Amino acid sequence: MFKRIAAGALATAAGASLVLTAGAGTASAAQAELSVNITEVSPNPVVVRGNRDARVAIEIRTTEAERVELHLRPDTDAPHTLVAKEAKLVRDGELWRFVTSFDKSDYRGRWIAVADAYGKDGKKLTDTAGFTVKYVHGWRKADTRLVDFNAGPEPLRKGNTVYFAGRLQARDHWKWRGVRHEEVDIYFQADGSSAWKYVTSADTRWDGKFKATSRAVRSGEFRAVFDGDRRLDDSVSRPDWVKVKRWHR
């Protein structure tokens, strides 16, 4: 099924993914290499409350792109369907902004945004970004917080291991207590970018503490994110900046 929107089109594939496609417009006069970068997914997480829809905007910046396709798919192997509502494209030069919405019938959990940019010669480049869709009922959830979050050591050489640690707590009347057996996600925002990209996940221990590792790629900020559940509210840690140095001969 196709729905024409401004300079592009929207297509939905049952049991597969949402695909948003945009046409080229006027080509850039400057000679540059093809590039694509998902700079923002907002809001993240996408919170569906009750019977109301929740809108999400995905911004993509490119150079020398004739066409951009955006695929949104749940990060799961389970069967699913996706119904897109009022999707539209707004383009301003090399900025492509796609908007769609989610409701309570959509998959709840981690989603992946995949942006494919195509150049004049048919060359394709891809960028990805993770985001979360969650559903909130009407009742009050317990407050949570992520404390003592640390990413390090730093500075690091590119390719070396970066270690993450922190603690998830929930308010129990007037006290904060560790929360066990919950998943905490780690996200990264590179210097010069506004997009937070999923890195890895860790499960909390009996005292709420968690640990995880990844590879250092470039300098930027890391943060821990707890998506919450039917009992616990979501929370985000303070960011921790890590400097990454390149190897030199």
112-155 pLDDT, tens digit per residue, is 998 999 998 889 999 999 999 988 875 568 899 999 999 999 89
Instruction: Please tell me the pTM assigned to this model.
Output: 0.53
Q: Which is more confident, 94 or 160?
A: 160
Q: Mean of the per-residue pLDDT values for the chain?
A: 83
Residue 19, pLDDT above cutoff 70: no
At residue 104, the pLDDT reads 86
Q: pLDDT for 44-84, tens place per residue? A: 999 888 878 888 999 999 999 998 988 888 887 766 555 43
Residue-range domain boundaries for the chain: 2-136, 144-245
Topology adopted by domain 144-245: Immunoglobulin-like (2.60.40)
Residue 13, pLDDT above cutoff 50: no
Q: Which is more confident, 51 or 192?
A: 192
The CATH code that applies to domain 2-136 is 2.60.40.10
For residues 237 and 188, give the distance between their C-alpha atoms in angstroms, rounded to a whole number. 12
Residues paired with 197 in a beta bridge: 188
Contacts of 145 (CB under 8 A, 6+ apart): 168, 169, 171, 176, 235
Percent of the chain topping pLDDT 70: 80
Contacts of 210 (CB under 8 A, 6+ apart): 164, 165, 166, 167, 168, 184, 202, 203, 204, 224
Q: Which is more confident, 240 or 8?
A: 240
At residue 14, the pLDDT reads 35
At residue 17, the pLDDT reads 53
Give which of 183, 176, 237 is closest to 210, Cα–Cα. Answer: 183
Q: Tell me if domain 2-136 and domain 144-245 are identical in fold.
A: yes
What is the mean pLDDT of the segment spanning 84-107? 77
Confidence of residue 29 (pLDDT cuts 50, 70, 90): very low
User: Taking phi first (over 0 means left), then psi (-120 to 50 degrees means alpha), and beta for anything else, what does residue 145 get?
Assistant: beta
DSSP 8-state class, residue 7: T
Query: Considering only 100-114, 170-184, 188-202, which range has the smallest mean pLDDT?
Result: 100-114
At residue 106, the pLDDT reads 86
For residues 163 and 181, give the distance between their C-alpha atoms in angstroms, rounded to a whole number. 20
At residue 200, the pLDDT reads 97
**How many Cβ atoms from other residues are within 10 Å of residue 148's Cβ?**
13
